[in-house]
């Protein structure tokens, strides 16, 4: 499989002037950590070349995503702002099968601090596809 993601929108409640160079979003997808930095934040499309390749059985991947979703942590200026989880809708996870077509999905969630208080919101665009052997 090939997994790619960008942040299409990020808002933080307690950050006056957001400097994207200081922002890092770390996604946990299929127990693989994926770091998203300035060049892929507040963009509207996925640019190839920044994805992760991994090998997993489609049924295992689907099950893991249904249970755990896409977990994320947001850091600003090397400090943790908060975390959130996007649970993919069943219509997406049901499409994860052998020979599947590309899946593109846009979703959002609140980012909460350790006390469970909202500190912002995030929207991500993901692409999941079968990677062909060359």
> How much is the pLDDT for 59?
95
pTM of the model: 0.91
Find, among 12, 23, 19, the residue nearest to 79 by Cα.
23
Burial of 43 (0-12, 13-18, 19+ CB in 10 A): middle
Q: Does residue 134 fall inside a structural domain? A: no
Q: Which two tokens stand for residue 74?
A: 């947001």
Q: Could you report the per-residue pLDDT of 69-85, keeping only the tens digit for each?
A: 999 999 999 999 999 99
Mean pLDDT for back-to-back runs of 10 residues, the chain (134 residues)? 96 86 96 94 87 93 96 94 97 94 97 96 96 66
42 backbone φψ class: left, alpha, beta (φ>0; ψ -120 to 50) = left
Tens of pLDDT, residue by residue over 1-21, are 999 999 999 999 888 888 999
Q: Report how many domains make up the chain.
A: 1
Buried b (16+ CB within 10 A) or exposed e, 98-120: eeeeebebebebebbeeeeeebb
Residue 125 falls inside a structural domain: yes
What integer pLDDT is reported at residue 18 of this predicted model?
A: 85
What is residue 134's predicted lDDT score, i.e. its pLDDT?
53
Host domain of residue 100: 2-129
CATH number at residue 21: 2.60.40.150
Q: Is residue 13 part of a domain?
A: yes
């Amino acid at each position: 499989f090939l997994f790619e993601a960008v942040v299409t929108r990020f808002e933080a409640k307690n950050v006056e002037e957001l400097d994207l160079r200081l922002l890092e979003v770390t996604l946990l997808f299929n127990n693989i950590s994926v770091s998203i930095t300035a060049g892929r934040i507040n963009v509207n499309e996925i640019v190839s070349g920044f994805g992760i390749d991994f090998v997993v059985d489609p049924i295992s991947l689907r099950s893991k995503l249904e249970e755990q979703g896409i977990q994320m942590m947001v850091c600003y200026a090397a400090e943790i702002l908060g975390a959130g989880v996007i649970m993919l809708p069943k219509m997406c996870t049901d499409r994860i099968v052998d020979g599947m077509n590309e899946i593109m999905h846009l979703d959002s969630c609140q980012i909460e601090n350790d006390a469970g208080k909202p500190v912002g919101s995030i929207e991500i665009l993901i692409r999941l596809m079968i990677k062909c052997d060359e």
